[in-house]
Structure 1
Amino acid sequence: MTATGVRAHARIVARSDGRGGTSLPVLEGEGPLALRRTRGSGAEARVMIVGAMSGPLGGDRFGIEARAEGAARLSVGSAAATIALPGQLKGEARYDVRLDVADGAELRWLPEQLISAKGSDLYVSTRVDVEAGGRLVLREEQVLGRVGEEPGRLTSRLTVRVAGKALLDQELACGPGAPGGWDGPAVLAGHRAVGQLVVVRPEFAAEPVAARMLGEGAALTPLAGPAVLVTAVAGDALRLRRLLDEALGHLGG
């Protein structure tokens, strides 16, 4: 920890072990970003992010990188929700995620919810690069405030590139100080849980998925490439997870 907050970084590299499984030659975490390998299924290696400290707090800087190489199958989750909290230090906290998926590899990024507590100020940046032939399932879930609590300031940006081409670049800012209209009918419409699911599969290039509504509060949109985006809003985290799970089921899991 420094006078400007905690600095923590974690790195995961998954690689085919040559025997039909996936090895983890790099599994490095520090401070609040402890990493644990858990039991996977089949060729998949599974990693859990275990929060060893509270946060991120004001002034903290967290970063995590994950790369799936070759024919690797990697799934990354978290043991619990991440809660952005106010800290003794003033200023914005940052959480930067960098994901890379090689040709023939698969990465499933499925952390638990990010909760924006009252008084917090967090900027989350997620950048994803998928090579041609790579496969991705990415889920993001954000909850604005704990039960009976107003949210903090939360800004999140998601960028997805496939074969070097940008498919998605979007930013959402919510809470005190965010641009006006974030809670209006064109954005969250009073809901306090928002999430998205990005699925990249090579077969979508030949057989595009049609745009459609997925029940109340969720919509599926094909992107300009072998990918689809599902966006959802809900009154609480449980309903949001149900919507995104149902959407992934429609896409074949």
Structure 2
Amino acid sequence: MTTTAGGVRASARVLARGDGRGGTVLPVLEGEGPLAVRRTRGSGAEARVMLVGAMSGPLGGDHFTVAAHAAAGARLRVGSAAATLALPGQDKTGARYDVRLTVDDDAELSWLPEQLISAGGSDLHVTTSVELAAGARLLLREEQVLGRAGEEPGRLTSRLTVRIDGRCVLDQELACGPGAPGGWDGPAGLAGHRAVGQLVVVRPGFATEPPAARVFEEGAAVLPLVGPAVLVTAVAPDALRLRRLLDGALASLD
């Protein structure tokens, strides 16, 4: 970790590998500063890791980077101990949070952090890049809450890209809050909702039997992507309703 006049630079890295006996080992489990990583009790072949926020943030000027790699044979689940709260800081250039996920053939990654809350006055740019081999499996959840109770949101820009076997199947960006392009909160955008989220589910079996595009419930939709992948998007008035929509849509895919 380094601290500069502009903010904190910190990173975390997780590498999981199959142990050859049906289990998963973690040869790399590194974190610094506000990005502490802890192994928790696993389940069967799955190893579980928790991101633990050791400091407030990200604040304006901070730059956090998290990388997780599930190598062949690994079953890895990554969560977080609490929501991430983007806060304003003395540096007005904004903060960055970069996530890099890699999943090899015969490997599975579940990326399931808690919500990201965009507090009033904050300015955060999040990028999530996912690289998957042809035989990889992925469950990725993103949830964003615009403002705390009774508070206007900060500026939040979030970009997600997913590649399978070198082919881009998803590249989307969402910008919300002060200074975002007009219409983000209108009928064609969030329509007044303050929680937005999505799931990306990649399973090799979807290549031959993709789920049908449909509205799951009011506020949620299921959309098959090119390749063995499905995108679930949802908007809701609050984080609790958002999680229920995403969990219900995921269960409907089984």
State how far apart, in whole Å, the 2-side matches of 1:19 and 1:104 are. Answer: 14
Aligned match of 2:122: 120
Task: Give the superposition deviation at 1:251.
Answer: 1.4
Listed one character per residue, the Cα deviations across residues 110-130 of structure 1 (whole Å, up to 9, x for unaligned) are 000000000000000000011
Listed one character per residue, the Cα deviations across residues 132-155 of structure 1 (whole Å, up to 9, x for unaligned) are 100000000000000000000000
Listed one character per residue, the Cα deviations across residues 163-212 of structure 1 (whole Å, up to 9, x for unaligned) are 11000000000000000000001110000000000000000001111001
Q: 2:36 aligns with which of 19, 34, 37?
A: 34
State how far apart, in whole Å, the 2-side matches of 1:133 and 1:192 are. Answer: 36
> Deviating runs (4+, > 6 A) in structure 1?
none
**Greater share of residues in strand:** 2
Aligned match of 1:224: 226
SS in 1 for 2:4: coil
Identity of matched residues, %: 78
Task: Give the superposition deviation at 1:221.
Answer: 0.2
Q: 2:142 aligns with which of 140, 143, 146?
A: 140
Q: 1:150 aligns with which of 149, 152, 161?
A: 152
Aligned match of 2:194: 192
Q: 2:100 aligns with which of 95, 98, 101?
A: 98
Is the 2:23–2:44 contact (alpha carbons within 8 Å) kept by the matching residues of 1?
A: yes
Cα RMSD of the aligned pairs, angstroms, is 0.5
Residue correspondences, number: 252
Is the 2:46–2:76 contact (alpha carbons within 8 Å) kept by the matching residues of 1?
A: yes
TM-score scaled by length of structure 2: 0.99
Aligned match of 1:63: 65
Aligned match of 1:88: 90
| Structure 2 residue 18 is the aligned partner of structure 1 residue 12 | no
Structure 1 regions of 5+ residues with no counterpart? none
State how far apart, in whole Å, the 2-side matches of 1:88 and 1:63 are. Answer: 21
SS in 2 for 1:39: strand
Amino acid at match of 2:146: L
